């Protein structure tokens, strides 16, 4: 990483390592209807687990205020996450509110797909631009095991078809690959979505949170996956679409689209990370692996005005020096971390 630079608080703040703020990931609630072992294992989050109460979650109007304050700081892209964001009632209403904010150029949604079919058209009409769907397996039993027995793969595939009919013709399909669990699903996923316009992205199994039993031996590296896929379907590397893009892009040599690899364990990309995360209870986290967040909800409910809110967000970003993935394994990175379901991926 580069040398730390002097702090700045202005209309386009930089963090201590010179990184701008461009993306805000918004967790609209902490609940999920799946129990994926790498995120919300059933033994830690049973059906009677107590999540946030309604009054403890940010209201749509509060989320809108935070986004409006973040735009002058450089935020242009929003991603709605969870938990499972489509469990939040009237989510298209929030999308419409955010789409009307001057300066916001892109709104995306990450979902497990289980509730997408009945919401896709309304989300499109409200102004949602892009969808990312988590799909860790096509084989029914493997899929069932990886979602904690909460859904069937056919339902997710039907939701993808419904989203296509609603106008989402280029979706991202995310697969977290774990050695000995679903690595045999890589080629079937590539084959299923080649030529469809959708982009499958393979994600290295990460040590997010504290309860997924992460071990480096369970990681299947992006380099290994690229070699396996290229042996059957030759690939050529593509340049990033924009600075800070997390996936390494590759196109199929025969023109049947592209795939991506998110190598966050073996090839960290902290150096140009421009993402902040807003939790459902109104805390700003400056890294996916943060141990604590900054309370914004309290300031909102105490009556803070927009200029002061913007200054607060700028100060949080100015103080940021996170680069966990580059420090993975060092003593200073071995600390308590927020669970992924609370702040999205």
Q: What angle do CA 37, 87, 152 make, to 5 degrees?
A: 50
DSSP string of 272-320?
Answer: G--EEEE-TTSEEESSTT-S--EE-HHHHHTT--HHHHHHHHHHHHHT-
Q: Output the six-digit token pair for 233.
A: 């379907």
List the one residue out of 33, 34, 3, 38 whose CA is nearest residue 18.
3
This model's pTM is above 0.85: yes
Q: Distance (Å, rounded) from C-alpha 32 to C-alpha 43?
A: 14
Architecture of domain 23-343: Alpha-Beta Barrel (3.20)
8 Å CB contact between 290 and 261: no
Residues, the chain? 345
Residue pointed to by tokens 């107590």: 50
Dihedrals phi, psi of 133, to nearest 5 degrees: -115, 130
pLDDT (tens digit, 0 to 9) for every residue of the chain, 345 residues total?
Answer: 333 333 344 458 999 999 999 999 999 999 999 988 888 887 777 677 788 999 999 999 999 999 999 999 999 999 999 999 999 999 999 999 999 999 999 999 999 999 999 999 999 999 999 999 999 999 999 999 999 999 999 999 999 999 999 999 999 999 999 999 999 999 999 999 999 999 999 999 987 655 666 678 789 999 999 999 999 999 999 998 887 788 999 999 999 999 999 998 887 778 889 999 999 999 999 988 887 899 999 999 999 999 999 999 999 999 998 777 666 655 444 456 666 666 765
């Amino acid at each position: 990483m580069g040398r730390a630079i002097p702090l700045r608080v202005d209309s386009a703040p930089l963090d201590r390592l010179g990184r701008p703020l461009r993306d805000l990931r918004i967790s609209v609630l902490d609940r999920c209807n799946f129990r994926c072992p790498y995120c919300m294992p059933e033994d830690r989050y049973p059906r009677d687990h107590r999540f946030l109460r309604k009054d403890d979650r940010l209201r749509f109007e509060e989320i809108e205020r935070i986004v409006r304050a973040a735009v002058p700081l450089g935020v242009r892209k929003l991603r709605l996450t969870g938990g499972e964001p489509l469990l939040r009632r009237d989510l298209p209403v929030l999308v419409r509110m955010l789409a009307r904010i001057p300066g916001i150029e892109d709104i995306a949604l990450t979902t497990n797909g289980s509730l997408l079919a009945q919401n896709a058209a309304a989300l499109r009409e409200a102004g949602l631009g892009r969808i990312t769907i988590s799909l860790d397996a096509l084989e029914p039993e493997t899929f069932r095991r990886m979602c904690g027995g909460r859904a069937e793969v056919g339902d997710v595939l039907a939701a993808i078809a419904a989203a296509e009919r609603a106008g989402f013709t280029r979706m991202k399909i995310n697969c977290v690959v774990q050695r000995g669990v679903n690595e045999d699903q890589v080629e079937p996923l590539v084959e299923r979505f080649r030529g469809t316009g959708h982009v499958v992205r393979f994600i290295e199994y990460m040590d997010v949170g504290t309860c997924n039993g992460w071990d480096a031996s369970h990681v299947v590296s992006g380099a290994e996956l690229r070699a396996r896929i290229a042996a059957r379907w030759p690939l050529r590397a593509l340049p990033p679409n924009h600075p800070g893009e997390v996936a390494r892009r590759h196109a199929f040599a025969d023109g049947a689209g592209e795939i991506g690899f998110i190598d966050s364990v073996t090839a960290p990309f902290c150096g140009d990370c421009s993402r902040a995360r807003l939790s459902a209870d109104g805390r700003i986290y400056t890294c996916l692996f943060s141990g604590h967040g900054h309370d914004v909800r309290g300031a909102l409910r105490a009556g803070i005005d927009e200029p002061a809110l913007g200054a607060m967000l700028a100060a949080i970003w100015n103080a940021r020096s996170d680069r966990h993935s580059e420090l993975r394994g060092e003593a200073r990175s071995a600390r308590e971390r927020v669970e992924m379901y609370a702040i999205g991926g």
